[in-house]
């Protein structure tokens, strides 16, 4: 047993973090908030970096890596607040032409059971719908055909939403996908993004608490603030162990349990980060609200607390 | 990231299981929890069985008489002994987990030869004389005074929260030898025989009604200077060295046990009708996620120990903060399932609920742990 990152895994994280810091730094983030539009060039770069084709076999033009590596990369995307249907494209790479390279951007949701709305940037013209429960075909919808449907406004400028369109759509090409596995992997990769966000908000809170002075001292010297920050780290590190382990074991219960803890870590850490920042935390300029709103959205996707807690409770009776 | 045990690790597990299957039926029935001499006899007999089978001091270095096992083997040992229902370390706790490793790291060859083998064989029991009435979280404020007189130190003061004091042979004692030095630099580590004249033990009753620990009064107790481990006034460092023995395995058995209890709580709820309450079900479901994560966090910490030779005490703080809270939540949920039975003093879950209250206090309160995490991991400034 060696439950730690390998050297290669560490380098992989580092590479993605560097790429995102260069291509999606604070200024680009602010620009994305001001004018939400997916950066197609960045999307293609992510394709070239292998984010979408990561787990496709090398023979099919993929990178040939596994779920643990995918989790590490998606953690970085959550950390950077990178918007867009990244997980959808990762899971659909190899199923729809052009997705693996980042040329084509597709969304993914489940009906029934999902949030009822989907993340719908203007650049994304297709939505793949997984059947809820256990049965039914996987459908591809092209919501542009129903462009007159009003879009709900979204509190998160980085998460444009649209109602899941009605209609049968077309069947997803190729052999029937393993829907249950896709859902589980979507949950786990979402959890990885939540983890990245939770780690990032600890860092932001700590950085601020070290420099912001009140009563003649950095506020981080006061135990009331210190203990908030310590609690944030405990949440993030516990979620990390759960998320990484679920990637290794590929257990369904562990994936949803990991998401439950990562959702909690992301939402509560963003809240505490906001609190540590005081009035600044309540402003539009501070990026903290973006972490919080995105964490709220992710918490509702691919396994909410309601569903997961009930699922795990039942597991206690049988396991 | 690899959660698969190697062939060698699985072989170790299989050998241990075979031994446990033959050893455990040979154990006498466990003693009454209030019978301390009986508990000592039981715990030390188990330690002797471990010794004879080659499992004593598994995590101790080989040159101290241990097996020099890897952190992963230690994890497996603790997991398997818990799953098999083997006795806990009990009265051997301080000797095996603190005083022994301290002696192994800092003792002279003579001191190691004198004290380590009896710990491993279960012949001698150690207790810990660190905390004092006015030195709890602020341990370096300790005032028990030791004055050199010829070949002896003469010790006067009092210690508190000393577990197993009534049945211990030795006490790892922190004393102040230089009251004028900065607080951390005037402390010395001594091995005190508990039968020395001037040692008085007064049991303290816990809120659970038991006498888990005691106050120890020291009135002119003479301790040979040869019982000093490390240099005079270097006792703080000597004590902290043991923290480098931390391997993230401190609560392995308990996490395994908590997962089992959680399943039993759920089944009890199903049988008594409380399962119909969605609030309770969701609470239990969240606890299931919690204890799964705590198990994985343990494996993660063990992985760090295996890589680096030790878990920073800080990783242990993260774990302890989360685990102590989760344990309290578990037994609060168990009490809700028991309903009116939640006050039944004879129910194991009720006893565990009471004892769980000490988890956020003992071995560093949650508040002190948060200070440690904030200052040593996150690098926030020291303050008050």
> CA A91, A96, A102, A105 torsion: positive or negative?
negative
Q: List, by residue range, all CATH 1.10.540.10 domains of chain A.
A: 7-171
Q: Which residues does A148 contact at the CB level (< 8 Å), separation at least 6?
A: none
The rounded mean pLDDT for chain A is 94
Query: B378 vs A247: CB contact, 8 Å cut-off?
Result: no
Q: Which two tokens stand for residue B155?
A: 């010790």
CB contact under 8 A, B296 and A241: yes
Q: How far apart are CA B94 and CA B173, in angstroms?
A: 12
CA distance B88 to chain A (A): 25
A158-171 confidence digits (pLDDT tens): 999 999 988 889 99
- Which residue from A3, A260, A316 is facing B299, i.e. has the nearest CB? A3
- Only one residue has tokens 């006050």, namely B343
pLDDT at A168: 83
Nearest residue of A to residue B382, measured between CA atoms: A221
Pairwise CB contact (< 8 Å): B292 & A257: yes
What is the model's pLDDT at position A113? 82
Tokens of B95: 């000797």
**Nearest CA distance, A220 vs chain B (angstrom):** 6
CB A238 within 8 A of CB B297: yes
Contact of A229 with chain B, judged by CB distance below 8 Å, is answered with yes
Q: Which percentage of chain B shows pLDDT scores above 70?
A: 97
What is the Cα–Cα distance from B227 to B152, expressed in whole angstroms? 9
pLDDT level of residue A150 (50, 70, 90 thresholds) = confident
Instruction: Give domain A180-318's CATH architecture.
Output: Up-down Bundle (1.20)
A269, A236 contact by CB (below 8 A):
yes
Q: Cα A170 to chain center, whole Å? A: 27
> Touching check for B308 and chain A: CB below 8 Å?
no
Q: What is the rounded CA–CA span in Å between residue A294 and residue B311? A: 34
Please list every residue in chain B whose beta carbon sits closer than 8 Å to the beta carbon of residue A200. Answer: none
In CATH, B246-377 is 3.40.50.300:
no
State which residue of chain B sits closest to A306, comparing Cα positions: B282
Distance CA B286, CA A309 (A): 5
Rounded to whole angstroms, the Cα distance separating A114 from A24 reads: 29
pLDDT at A152: 85
Residue B120's pLDDT is 98
**Which one from B215, B246, B329, B375 is the annotated catalytic residue?**
B246
- Residue B246 appears among annotated catalytic residues: yes
Question: Do the Cβ atoms of A315 and B288 come within 8 Å?
Answer: yes
pLDDT digits (tens, 9 = 90+) for B3-19: 999 999 999 999 999 99
Q: What is the pLDDT of residues A81-108, one digit of tens each?
A: 999 999 999 999 999 999 999 999 999 9
Task: Give the DSSP H or E segment for B221.
Answer: strand B213-224
- Give the mean model confidence (pLDDT) for residues A297-311: 97
Q: Which residues contact B336 (CB under 8 A, 6 or more apart)?
A: B274, B280, B283, B342
Beta carbons of A248 and B1 less than 8 Å apart: yes
- Nearest CA distance, A231 vs chain B (angstrom): 7
Nearest Cβ partner of A1 from B9, B278, B374?
B9
CATH architecture observed for domain A7-171: Orthogonal Bundle (1.10)
Q: Which residues of A24-40 are buried (b: 16+ CB within 10 A; e: fewer)?
A: beeebbeebbeebebbe
Closest CA to A200 of A63, A9, A24, A8: A24
To the nearest whole angstrom, how far is the Cα of A1 from the nearest Cα of chain B? 5
Q: What are phi and psi of B35, to 5 degrees?
A: -90, 90
> What mean pLDDT comes out for the span A230-239?
98
CA closest to B283 among chain A residues: A309
C-alpha B319/C-alpha B311 separation (Å) is 11
Q: How does pLDDT run across B51-103, given as a tens digit for each residue?
A: 999 999 998 999 999 999 999 999 999 999 999 999 999 999 999 999 999 99
Residue B309 has what pLDDT?
64
Q: What is the mean pLDDT of residues B153-180?
A: 97
The string over A226-251, giving b where at least 16 C-beta atoms fall within 10 Å of a residue's C-beta and e elsewhere, is bbbbbbbbbbbbbbbbbbbbbbbeee
What is the count of residue pairs from A and B with beta carbons less than 8 Å apart?
A: 180
Fold classification of B126-233 (topology level): Butyryl-CoA Dehydrogenase, subunit A; domain 2 (2.40.110)
The A residues from 40 to 79 touching B (CB cutoff 8 Å) are 68
**CA pair distance A105, A99, nearest whole angstrom:** 6
In chain B, CATH 1.20.140.10 sits at 246-377
Residue A112, preceding peptide bond in cis (omega within 30° of 0): yes
CATH 1.20.140.10 segments of chain A: 180-318
Q: What is the dihedral of CA B222, B227, B230, B234, to 10 degrees?
A: -20
Q: Is the ipTM of this complex over 0.85?
A: yes
Q: Do residue A316 and residue B384 have CB atoms under 8 angstroms apart?
A: no
A310 closest CB neighbour out of B270, B282, B381:
B282
Residue B17 near chain A (CB below 8 Å): no
Four-residue CA torsion sign, B281, A263, A249, B259:
negative
């Amino acid at each position: 047993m060696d439950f730690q990152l390998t050297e290669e895994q560490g380098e992989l994280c580092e590479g993605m973090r560097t790429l995102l810091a260069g291509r999606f730094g604070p200024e680009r983030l602010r620009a994305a908030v001001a004018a939400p539009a997916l950066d197609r060039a960045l999307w293609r770069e992510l394709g070239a970096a292998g984010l979408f084709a990561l787990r496709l076999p090398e023979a099919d033009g993929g990178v040939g890596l596994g779920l643990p590596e995918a989790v590490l990369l998606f953690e970085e995307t959550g950390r950077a607040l990178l918007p867009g249907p990244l997980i959808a494209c990762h899971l659909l790479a190899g199923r729809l032409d052009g997705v693996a390279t980042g040329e084509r951007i597709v969304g993914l949701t489940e009906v029934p059971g999902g949030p009822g709305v989907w993340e719908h940037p203007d650049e994304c013209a297709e939505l793949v719908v997984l059947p809820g429960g256990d049965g039914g075909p996987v459908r591809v919808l092209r919501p542009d055909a129903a462009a007159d449907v009003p879009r709900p406004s979204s509190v998160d400028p980085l998460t444009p939403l649209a109602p899941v369109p009605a209609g049968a759509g077309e069947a997803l090409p190729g052999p029937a996908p393993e829907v249950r596995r896709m859902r589980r992997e979507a949950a786990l990769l979402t959890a990885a993004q939540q983890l990245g966000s939770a780690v990032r908000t600890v860092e932001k809170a700590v950085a601020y608490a070290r420099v912001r002075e009140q009563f003649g001292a950095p506020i981080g010297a006061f135990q009331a603030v210190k203990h908030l920050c310590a609690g944030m780290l405990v949440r993030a590190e516990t979620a990390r162990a759960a998320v990484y382990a679920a990637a290794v074991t590929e257990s369904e219960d562990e994936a949803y349990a990991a998401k439950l803890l990562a959702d909690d870590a992301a939402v509560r850490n963003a809240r505490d980060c906001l609190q540590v920042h005081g009035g600044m935390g309540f402003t539009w300029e501070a990026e903290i609200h973006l972490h919080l709103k995105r964490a709220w959205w992710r918490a509702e996707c691919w396994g909410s607390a309601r569903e997961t807690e009930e699922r795990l409770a039942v597991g206690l009776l049988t396991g | 990231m690899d959660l698969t045990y190697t062939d060698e690790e699985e072989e170790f597990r299989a050998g241990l299981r075979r031994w446990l299957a033959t050893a455990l039926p040979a154990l006498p029935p466990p003693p009454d929890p209030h019978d301390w001499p009986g508990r000592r006899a039981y715990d030390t007999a188990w330690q002797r069985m471990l010794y004879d089978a080659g499992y004593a001091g598994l995590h101790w270095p080989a040159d101290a008489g241990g097996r020099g096992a890897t952190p992963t083997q230690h994890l497996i040992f603790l997991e398997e002994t818990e799953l098999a229902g083997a006795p806990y370390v009990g009265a051997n706790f301080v000797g095996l987990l603190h005083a022994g490793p301290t002696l192994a790291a800092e003792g002279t060859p003579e001191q190691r030869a004198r004290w380590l083998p009896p710990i491993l064989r279960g012949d001698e029991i150690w207790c810990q004389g660190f905390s004092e009435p006015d030195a709890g979280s602020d341990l370096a404020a300790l005032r028990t005074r030791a004055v050199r007189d010829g070949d002896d130190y003469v010790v006067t003061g009092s210690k508190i929260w000393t577990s197993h004091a009534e049945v211990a042979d030795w006490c790892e004692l922190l004393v102040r030898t230089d009251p004028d030095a900065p607080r951390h630099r005037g402390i010395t580590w001594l091995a005190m025989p508990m039968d020395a004249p001037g040692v008085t033990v007064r049991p303290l009753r816990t809120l659970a009604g038991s006498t888990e620990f005691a106050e120890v009064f020291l009135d002119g107790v003479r301790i040979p200077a040869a019982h000093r481990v490390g240099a005079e006034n270097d006792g703080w460092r000597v004590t902290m060295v043991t923290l480098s023995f931390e391997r993230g395995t401190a609560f392995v058995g308990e996490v395994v046990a908590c997962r089992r209890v959680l399943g039993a709580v759920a089944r009890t709820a199903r049988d008594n009708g409380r399962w119909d309450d969605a609030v309770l079900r969701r609470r239990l479901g969240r606890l299931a996620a919690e204890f799964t994560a705590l198990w994985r966090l343990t494996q993660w910490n063990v992985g760090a120990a295996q890589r680096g030779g030790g878990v920073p005490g800080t990783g242990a703080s993260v774990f302890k903060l989360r685990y102590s809270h989760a344990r309290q939540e578990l037994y609060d949920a168990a009490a809700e399932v028991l309903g009116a039975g939640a006050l039944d003093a004879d129910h194991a879950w009720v006893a565990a609920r009471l004892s769980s209250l000490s988890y956020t206090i003992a071995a560093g309160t949650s508040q002190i742990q948060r200070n440690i995490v904030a200052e040593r991991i996150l690098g926030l400034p020291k303050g008050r």
